[in-house]
Amino acid sequence: MSANNKKEHLQTDKSRPFSGSSSTPHQGNWLVPGAAAMALIVGMPIIALIVMSLSGDTASLAHLGKTVLTRASLTTGMLLVGLVIFTGSIGAISAWLVSFFEFPGRRVFVWALMLPLAVPTYISAYAFTEFFTFTGPVQTLVRDIGGFSSARDYWFPDIRSLPGAIFVLSMVLYPYVYLSVRALFFVQGRRAIEAGLLLGANQRRILTKILLPLARPALALGVILAMMEAINDIGAMEYLGVQTLTFSIFSIWVHQGDMAGAAQLALILLFLVLALILAERWARKGQSFVETGSGSTMAFERMRLRGPKAALAMVACLIPVGLGFGVPVIILGTYAGRYLQTGFDSALLNALLTSVSLAGIAALIAVLLALFLSYAVRVRATKPIGFLVRFASTGYAMPGTIIALGIFLPIAMFDNFVDSQMRQWFNISTGLLITGSGATLVYAYVVRFMAVAEGSIDASFKKISSNLDSAARCFGYSQLQVFTRILLPLMRPAIATAGLLVFIESLKELSATLMLRPFGIETISIYIHDLASRGKIEQAGIGSLLLILVGIIPVIILSRTTLKDR
């Protein structure tokens, strides 16, 4: 080879992107404006909410403070405090038992303790109300044992109260704590227990001095997730007669027609949610637990429980599963059996078909957006891109009421603008093109649940080495070919999981759906809510049972991916 040929060969090699990154600094610049546009679209509800709140005067806010804000804030605060106590206790104790002790049924309880996640909070409220009502099995048993003839002869707690709401929500939301604490115990707790035993500590000291401090970040994460789900709830609070901030926003908008007041109250609620997120991060501040060596795969012998201790452990795990999952399934299953022949009416089938269609479209859009944003981070791992992706994924932290409020006004303004222009130019009325269709619901679902899809896809991207991208680029593949022919086939399981999770969450969503549903469009969650609000919970049994059965799917996914007990 001549000197000139060698020089050309070296220059050609230098021009190839053979570095550790998947692209050169100038490649993927188009991803930045794309990510910015997506973040703006997803963040539009917050911007619109601020604009709406400023349109109201201080007198409106003062009136809300006197009539609604104080009482609703106090109720919300007491609800959250109750959830912290009950979900934290149930989730941490059950995670501790199945992680470090061996007793009959432990292997079943490992995954069964997650089953209440399949029950939407509003369906749980319907079931528990029927379970504890005067004609329900509990009070019937009390009358039979005590020989009572009427409700005046004995006292029984009212499930339709704040303590009842705390109980109902705790029974279906404790798995958030169980999942996070159990995962931490599975990775870190075994080594901690081994160290404690070597130092001569008993089980009580190991629990109080080692495991609880170790689990504090995971405990805080699980509790705050449960609190955020409770803040998002409308259906259960309305049915149980508890006026939280979220229900107050819904009532002020729908019943009083005061959008500015609802927006002002929504901003206060948003600040509360942000405070919860900051509290969770503060709880993890300075906490760093790193698994060294092969501790997570080392043989670990659980302490075998016998006699009364084994029975007590079984009961401690059986009670939350039985109440959180068993009671709703049994009550609603009984009602579904009564109306099995007439329950599958055209209204239910149409609502189910509408829900499947809207949730399917939302899942497809959310997965596409999540793929774009996650790939943008992979190609251009800069601070602006990272910020935009995080901002676009904040919808999951916003209650559905806030998202609905922020979406409705700008979309309605756009619809009215298009209609006025078409009238002016062509003398044609287009009506409400977006707000009059299911597009607003799809938009709300995407904003609310895109973080679910982005998290799953981003985690899968991080498992694929960027050297694979560089190698493909060296063989002449374009950036698009690397994405479509190499990365996408490897990402299929994560894409399917992300789409399925968004689909099921959209299917169950009630808060945003209740506030944004157009006239003539009814989803399965609205169908169940309307029947329950009219006192026809028995007729809603089939639809409720269908939603619970569908909700089991993400529980199975979680059990297969995060809680492999090997």
Same structural domain, 126 and 225 = yes
Residues 279 and 376 in one domain: no
Say if residue 297 is in the same domain as residue 361. no
In sequence order, what are the residues at sequence separation of 6 or more whose Cβ sits closer than 8 angstroms to the Cβ of residue 81? none
Q: Are residues 227 and 371 in the same domain?
A: no
338-360 pLDDT, tens digit each: 877 666 778 888 888 999 999 99
Last residue of a domain, one of 457, 485, 505: 505
Q: Are residues 414 and 283 in the same domain?
A: no
In a domain, 434, yes or no: yes
For residue range 480-523, what is the model confidence (pLDDT) as tens digits?
Answer: 777 778 888 888 888 888 888 889 889 888 888 888 888 778 89
According to DSSP, residue 398 is labeled S
Domain boundary among 482, 505, 528: 505
Q: pLDDT grade, residue 565 (50/70/90)?
A: very low
Residue 494 resides in a domain: yes
**Whether residue 154 sits in one domain with residue 100:** yes
Query: pLDDT above 90 covers what percent of the chain?
Result: 18
∠ CA 55-57-62, rounded to 5°: 135
CATH of the domain at 268: 1.10.3720.10
Enclosing domain of residue 440: 357-505
* Cα 344 from chain centroid (whole Å): 29
**Stretch 516-544: mean pLDDT:** 86
Band of pLDDT at residue 316, cut at 50, 70 and 90? very high
**Structure confidence at residue 269 as a pLDDT band (50, 70, 90):** confident
Please tell me which residue, 65 or 297, carries the higher pLDDT value.
Answer: 65
Residues 145 and 289 in one domain: yes
The DSSP code sequence of 437-465 is STHHHHHHHHHHHHHHHHHHHHHHHHTS-
Q: Are 240 and 295 contained in the same domain? A: yes
Does 560 reside within a domain? no
Chain-centroid distance of CA 328 in Å reads 20
Answer yes or no: is 57 within a domain. Answer: no
Does residue 395 carry a pLDDT above 60? yes
**Could you give the number of structural domains in the chain?**
2
Q: What is the pTM of this model?
A: 0.80
Q: Do both 234 and 368 map to the same domain?
A: no
Mark whether 452 and 313 lie in a shared domain.
no
Q: Are residues 321 and 244 both part of a single domain?
A: yes
For residues 271 and 54, the answer to whether their CB atoms sit within 8 Å is no
Residues 300 and 388 grouped into a single domain: no
Residue 101 phi, psi (nearest 5):
-130, 150
Tokens of 299: 């043989």
